[in-house]
Amino acid sequence: MYLTRTIHGTKRHAQDELSQLLVEVGAGADATTEGTLAELVRKWLEITGDSLSPSTLNEYKRLLNRHILPNFGSRKVRGLRASDLDTFYTRLKKSGGVDGQPLSAQSVRHIHALIHRILGQAVKWGWVSSNPASQSSPPKVRKSQVIVPTVSQVVKLIDTATLSDPGFGCLLRLATISGARRGELCALRWSDVDLKKGIVTISRSIVGDKNDQMIEKDTKTHSARTISLDSDTCLLLQDWHETCRDRASKCGVSLTPNAFIFSDRADGGACWRPGKVTLAFMRLCKGLQIEGVRLHDLRHFAATRMQMSNVVDFASFRRVRDDIPPGKTFFSFSSISNSSRV
């Protein structure tokens, strides 16, 4: 078997290509190394697409179609070099955004991560002997400071939301008490709540947004967890349950335990979209002139309060103390509300 290549460029370039060719021959590379990046992407998506969440798959396709394939789609995979990627990343940082605006280092890192993953598959398939993305130098990202909302901000957000939309206010309160992610909150069903014991079990999440089909899946950690609720939150949930039952009755349908807690349908048959919750929170913050606070920051707030009480592990929101009986919260929401008004 013979491998031949025609090199257009300097003698140094030809020597580099010769070195790479010798590596590929030693690794047993075959004719599939003639494939282009576009062909690699197509095959990779065929085997990987079903394992990705709809939102992740859409984001990958966006990055591929907007940035990666227009630049490297016709390039042979075996011809990609770390220097090509470094030049690409530099150009993205300068003018890779909308209307030629700079692209953030974080966005460039996301593109790099996707390229690295796809080329990693090329290595496994024997298209190339090594991953050029591993030798590239994507821009470094400065760690952003985690913003934890103040007590007064959290109380103001929940109180205002509850007045205009009791369901949304209930969701924000649960987010603050439990530290649950937005997809986990949207996935909650009435069967997940035991108001007598004062607990809520978080065992699934909702993924998918905009026009995507929403899918129920495991939590991010692939494990269920039970969170204790304070008495005021239980009363708020009970009131919201009565509201949902009344709405269902007026519409001639029933509200079963399997119904979603947060739903626009009278029977609770479809949950709120995670994106809708985020947009509603952004509008709420804008109306209250609260800047720099994201919906996810309520999770940080919950973690901070729990750590202050030394009852939870920040990374997993797992109980680390066993002396907290069911129905007793990790911290009192009432005391938080009262302290914010002193």
Q: Which of 8-12, 173-177, 237-241 has the lowest mean pLDDT?
A: 8-12
For 66-125, write each residue's pLDDT tens digit.
999 999 999 999 999 999 999 999 999 999 988 889 999 999 999 999 999 999 999 999
- Region(s) of the chain under CATH 1.10.150.130: 11-135
Number of residues in the chain: 342
Give pLDDT, residue 13.
Answer: 61
Where are the alpha helices (H) located in the chain, listed in sequence order? 11-27, 37-48, 54-63, 69-72, 82-95, 105-125, 151-164, 166-178, 182-186, 231-250, 274-287, 297-308, 333-340
Q: How confident is the model at residue 309 (pLDDT cuts 50, 70, 90)?
A: low
How far is the C-alpha of 331 from the C-alpha of 233, rounded, in Å? 12
Q: Which fold has domain 151-340?
A: hpI Integrase; Chain A (1.10.443)
- The secondary structure of residue 262, as a DSSP letter, is S
260 φ/ψ angles, rounded to the nearest 5 degrees: -70, 140
- Assess contact for 176 and 329: CB atoms under 8 A: no
Give pLDDT, residue 227.
Answer: 85
Give pLDDT, residue 341.
Answer: 39
Torsion from C-alpha of 179, 239, 199, 311, nearest 10 degrees: 40
Q: Which amino acid is at 80?
A: L
What is the CATH code for 11-135?
1.10.150.130
- Region(s) of the chain under CATH 1.10.443.10: 151-340
Other CB atoms closer than 10 Å to residue 152's CB: what's the count? 14
Nearest to 225 by CA among 172, 178, 170: 178
Averaged pLDDT of the chain: 82
Give pLDDT, residue 17.
Answer: 63
Give pLDDT, residue 16.
Answer: 60
User: Does pLDDT of 319 surpass 50?
Assistant: no
Nearest to 78 by CA among 10, 133, 19, 127: 127
